[in-house]
Amino acid sequence: MAKTIAEINEKIKKGKAVVVTAEEINDIVREKGEKKAASEIDVVTTGTFGPMCSSSAYLNLGHSKPRIKIGGGRAYLNDVPVYTGIAAVDVYIGATAMPDDDPRNAVFPGAFRYGGGHVIEELVAGKDIRFSATSYGTDCYPKKSIETYINIKNINEAVLFNPRNSYQNYNVAVNLSDRIIYTYMGTLQPNLGNANYCSAGQLSPLLNDPYYRTIGIGTRIFLGGGVGYVAWNGTQHNPCVSRTKNGVPRVPAGTIAVIGNLKQMNPSLLRGTTLTGYGATLSVGIGIPIPILTEEILRFTTVKDEDIFTQVVDYSDAYPQGKPDTLGEVNYAQLRSGKITVQGKEIKTASLSSYVKAREIAETLKNWIKKGDFLLSEHVADLPSIESEITFKPMPSKSVKKV
Amino acid sequence: MYAKVVHLRFPREIVNEPIVMNLVKRFDLSCNILKATIYPRKEGMVVMELSGNRKNYHSGLKYLRNLGIKVDSISQDIKRNEEECFHCGACTAVCPTGALYIERPEMTVAFDKDKCSACELCVIACPAKAMEVNFDKGLLD
């Protein structure tokens, strides 16, 4: 029997909705069968927590007296540069921004201890953030420089806006070279010393709704410990890739852009993160509820780690050189077991995303919905799916004339 | 067979003492030096695994202490900041001794201080900057 989101919301309001996590659903379906489970279960909750580099926030800082036009000038939060090319007192901070005087990789491998992601974490934690700006001065905005402290509690708006989060599947990174390498997939020991992966697998939002039937623009989600929304498809959203027969992509595929009020988020679920030798970023916690509207939607949520396959990629050569080669396919049950076999060698696996936090997020969202604190939203437009004919484009290579 | 990783801090006066040879010769202990430094003011620091007969181990330690060497268990210098750790597991890939490992099926990252050799690879690999190694702090009080 098909349900509607409005019907599920009525049950949520009455405290009668049946909500389970994407881990728990597997036992229930094994016990009751798909048909019965689909009619009994209203919502399946998912979760993921990991470094998501395309994350950022924009802030409206309010006007100083006399006024300063930060727009078009230069500005910093705790010495991390922010983008000022918008309006007078709006600034935009990206998770990977670094202080001007950070040595980066000049002393290799760079430590990248403090960047934009760390500023976002401290802001959410309610800490004072040192703000400095210089500008050119105008008749209506005469002030040319300012140095002060800002706090999330007393700025007008603080909005988390992440152009690409929650990747639907991701590569497993290994290192075939004979030296240690430092990548966005973590530290990789030489000669297949270790294999790093980064997905919550069976708990991951887009792997439980592989064709984006219920997750779309306007979907209300758990974001950084608060409530947020899916704003758009994420950048590099690439749905038309090879998939297994359960619909699950075998390579990185869909992504989402998400937005939410930073003021109601939690610093333990928005964590400034360091990738030695690579850069600073933000680890983001996201949970998405999947309304069980049909039996098919339920079937998608029963995906297990052993049904989700991904590619092993060499980050010493194939990845940096943009070669399509892979070293084989493994599933998440193998990855989570602690070892996989690549080129006949058994190697240790480790994750960059936290399964512990992913599980916590799915649990928290489940409890919010059960208590009636979180209602589901109808999405207002679909994300592009397999019929979209989207292709993943490389950067064009053209010679530029020197004048 | 008794084995333990210890952290030794030498005052400058005895930095030239052949302690490893004495531990081997007089106390029949095996010494596996994991880390050694002499600081600018000539104080010395050694991290090593000592193994052998339990009685000899304790006599060896007594010998070191009588020389004026400060002997600490390694676990006092290595710390995981529990609030910072978000249990991803990136450290477990680089930890050579298995001191950092995943507990299944919970998937939490456990830290067994007794197995730690203080190599500091986890400090570099940890995305949350949760691993703290403090050899230099409190150098010689």
Q: Are A102 and A246 found together in one domain?
A: no
What pLDDT does B141 receive? 43
Task: Give the per-residue pLDDT at B114.
Answer: 84
pLDDT at B105 over 80: yes
Q: Work out the average pLDDT over A52-77.
A: 98
End-of-domain residue from the set A116, A139, A155? A155
In a domain, A70, yes or no: yes
Cβ atoms of residues A369 and A201 within 8 Å: no
**Could you list the residue range(s) of the whole structural domain that residue A347 is in?**
5-52+161-388
- Picking from A118, A140, A155, the residue at the C-terminal end of a domain is A155
Q: Which residue has the tokens 């943009």?
A: A322
**Residue B140 has what pLDDT?**
44
Q: Which residues 88-127 of B have a C-beta within 8 angstroms of A? A: 88-94, 102, 104, 106-108, 121, 124-127
Count residue pairs from A and B with Cβ separation < 8 A.
75
Residue where one domain finishes, among candidates A94, A121, A155: A155
Inside any domain, residue B14: yes
- What share of chain A in percent tops pLDDT 90? 99
B129/A350 touch (CB, cutoff 8 Å), yes or no: no
- Distance between terminal CA atoms of chain A? 69
Residue B83 to residue A271: CA distance in whole angstroms = 11
Which chain A residues have a beta carbon less than 8 Å from that of B129? 113, 274
Is B130 part of the contact surface with chain A (CB cutoff 8 Å)? no
The stretch B19-31 carries a mean pLDDT of 94
* CA neighbor of B131 nearest in space, from A187, A329, A359: A187
How many other CB atoms are there within 10 angstroms of residue B80's CB atom?
20
Answer yes or no: do B26 and B65 share one domain: yes
Active site residue A240: no
Residue B86 shares a structural domain with residue B113: yes
Residues B63 and B88 in one domain: no
Query: Which pLDDT band, with edges at 50, 70 and 90, does B35 fall under?
Result: confident
User: CB neighbours of A130 closer than 8 A, spacing ≥ 6?
Assistant: A76, A77, A78, A79, A147, A148, A149
Q: How far apart are CA A56 and CA A117, in angstroms?
A: 8
Q: What DSSP string runs through chain B?
A: -EEEEEEEEE-GGGTT--HHHHHHHHH--EEEEEEEEE-TTS-EEEEEEEEE-HHHHHHHHHHHHHHT-EEEEGGGTEEE-TTT-----HHHHH-SSSSEEEETTTTEEEE-GGG-----HHHHH-TT--EEE-SSTT---
Task: Place B139 in a pLDDT band, splitting at 50, 70 and 90.
Answer: very low
Say if CB A282 and CB A116 are below 8 A apart.
yes
Q: Are strands A339-342 and B78-80 parallel, antiparallel or unpaired?
A: unpaired
Task: Say whether A187 and B102 touch across the interface (CB within 8 A).
Answer: no
Same domain, B58 and B10: yes
Q: Among A43-52, A164-173, B1-10, B23-32, where is mean pLDDT lowest? A: B1-10
Q: Do A196 and B106 touch (CB under 8 A)?
A: no
Preferred mutation among A175, A268, A351 to probe B, highest tally of B CBs within 10 A: A351
Evaluate whether residue A401 is within a structural domain.
no
Query: pLDDT digit string (tens) for A86-132?
Result: 999 999 999 999 999 999 999 999 999 999 999 999 999 999 999 99
> Helix axis angle, B54-67 relative to B19-27, nearest 10°?
140
Same domain for A105 and A187? no
A271 and A148 within one domain: no
Together in a domain, A197 and A288: yes
Partner-chain residue, chosen from B107, B125, B127, that has the shortest CB–CB distance to A273: B127
**CB-CB under 8 Å, A350 with B91:** yes
What pLDDT, on the 0 to 100 scale, is given for residue B135?
66
CB-based contact A350 B108, cutoff 8 Å: no
User: Is the CB of residue A224 less than 8 Å from the CB of residue A375?
Assistant: no
- Is residue A175 located within the same domain as residue A44? yes
Closest to A264 (Cα-Cα) out of A218, A224, A219, A220: A224
- Report, as an integer, the average pLDDT of A226-253: 98
Does B65 lie in the same domain as B9?
yes
Task: List pLDDT tens digits, range A200-219.
Answer: 999 999 999 999 999 999 99
Q: How far is A67 from chain B (nearest CA, A)?
A: 39
For residue A393, what pLDDT is reported?
92
The verdict on B84 and B38 lying in the same domain is no
B81 and B124 assigned to the same domain: yes
- The C-alpha atoms of residue A8 and residue A344 are separated, in whole angstroms, by 50
Of A53, A140, A198, A240, the active-site residue reads A140
- Please state the domain count of chain A: 2
pLDDT in tens, A149-191: 999 999 999 999 999 999 999 999 999 999 999 999 999 999 9
ipTM: 0.94
Smallest Cα distance from B92 to chain A, Å: 6
Residue A395 located in a structural domain: no
Q: Determine, for residues B102 and A348 on separate chains, whether the beta-carbon distance falls below 8 Å.
A: no
Binned at pLDDT 50, 70 and 90, residue B74 comes out as confident
Q: List phi, psi (to 5°) of A34.
A: -65, -40
Q: What average pLDDT does chain A have?
A: 97
Higher pLDDT, B3 or B52: B52
Per-residue b or e along B25-56, where b marks 16 or more CB atoms closer than 10 Å to that residue's CB: eebebebeebeeeebeeebbbbbbbbbbeeeb
* One domain, residues B28 and B42: yes
Distance in angstroms (rounded) separating the CA atoms of residues A165 and A257 = 6
In this structure, what CATH number is given to the domain that contains residue B120? 3.30.70.20
Q: Is the pLDDT of residue A13 over 50?
A: yes
Q: Does B34 touch chain A (CB under 8 A)?
A: no
Same domain as B84, residue B22: no
Of all residues in chain A, the one with the smallest CA distance to B102 is A338
Q: Is the pLDDT score of B133 beyond 90?
A: no
Amino acid at A99: P
- Give B24: exposed, middle or buried? Use CB within 10 Å, 0-12, 13-18, 19+: middle
Give the domain range for residue B52.
Answer: 2-73
Confidence grade of residue B1 (pLDDT, cut at 50, 70, 90): confident
CB contacts, 8 Å: B125 with chain A: 186-187, 276
